[in-house]
Amino acid sequence: MAKKIAITYEKGGCGKTTTAVNLAAIFAIKYKLKVLLVDLDKQAYATSYYIPEHKQIEKTIYEVMTDRCTPQEAVRHTGYEGLDILPSSRRFREIETHLMMMTRRQEYLLLSSIESLDKDYDIILFDCPPSGERVKENALTASDYIILPVIPDDFAIPGLIQIAEEVTEIKRFTNPKLTVLGVLITMYENTNNKTAYTRAFKQQKLLPVFNTVIRKNTKLSEAINHHKPIIDYDKRCNGAIDYSALAEELMEQL
């Protein structure tokens, strides 16, 4: 059975998709695992990262969750051995309405829709949207674990409190096995402000925090433009070093 990990947070711009696409690649390339990246964002950034012609894709996670095709029909190979993607598209913006109109068990739709893929992969990563409460609820219900990327600033603190409350509700009502692997500090810079907030996050007791921090690194942005994971684009840069360290920390936990 695949280990399922949701990468989520309450706001955009904190490195969720960057974390998802690069962790997926490192697990597949470095650790030789079979990995599926599931794009749950209507912006389809994770999809465009690996499939530049993504606007022409006809079968996506939306078609899977609305029973228009099987998950096997929608899965695409990324070009990297061991790494597949279940793509998204702008059509996915309609999934919230579809979920709202379901009369029962709407929070389990994602889990049941991709259940047949469990045996094919070691790890399934969900790249979650910054908005869309029903999609996020589906992702957390389907997952075993959560990673929470945050930028160390004042805006992250209310977000941590909110996500902790959401996890408590999910564990109580739909998924008692859900476990937070850790808060991931992203876009870290060696400034007094960022250092102080990072120290504060690591000292708080509400949620665990990874030892690894992801430093702000222009190579990560360049890799996006070249549609390559950072360990393929520049394996010696800080971005590759940091995400490799995170993957190693995760492998120890998993």
Range of the domain at 197: 3-253
Query: pTM of the predicted model, to two decimals?
Result: 0.95
Predicted confidence (pLDDT) at residue 138 exceeds the cutoff of 90: yes
Q: Is residue 145 over pLDDT 90? A: yes
Domain count for the chain: 1
Q: Residue 200: pLDDT band by 50, 70, 90 thresholds?
A: confident
Would the pLDDT of 151 be above 80?
Answer: yes
pLDDT band at residue 223 under the 50/70/90 scheme: very high
Question: What are the residues whose beta carbons fall under 8 Å from the beta carbon of 35, sequence distance 6 or more?
Answer: 24, 27, 28, 82, 83, 84, 121, 122, 123, 124, 125
> Is the torsion defined by CA of 39, 43, 48, 52 positive or negative?
positive
87 neighbors 54 (Cβ within 8 angstroms) = yes
Query: For position 203, what pLDDT does the model report?
Result: 84
Q: What is the pLDDT of residue 252?
A: 95
Q: What is the mean pLDDT of residues 130-137?
A: 86
Calculate mean pLDDT across residues 235-251.
Answer: 97
Q: How far apart are CA 47 and CA 62, in angstroms?
A: 13
State residue 5's pLDDT score: 98
Sequential DSSP letters for the chain:
--EEEEE--SSSSSSHHHHHHHHHHHHHHTT---EEEEE--TT-HHHHHH-TTGGG----HHHHHTTSS-HHHH-EE-SSTTEEEE---GGGGGHHHHHHH-SS-GGGHHHHHSGGGGGG-SEEEEE--SS-HHHHHHHHHH-SEEEEEE-SSTTHHHHHHHHHHHHHHHHHHT-TT-EEEEEEEEEE-SSHHHHHHHHHHHH-SSS-EEEEEEE--HHHHHHHHTT--HHHH-TTSHHHHHHHHHHHHHHHH-
Check which CATH number belongs to the domain holding 17 and give it.
Answer: 3.40.50.300
What are the backbone angles phi and psi of residue 4, rounded to the nearest 5°?
-105, 130
How many angstroms separate the CA atoms of 189 and 206, rounded?
Answer: 24
Q: Which of 3-7, 58-62, 106-110, 221-225 is least confident?
A: 221-225
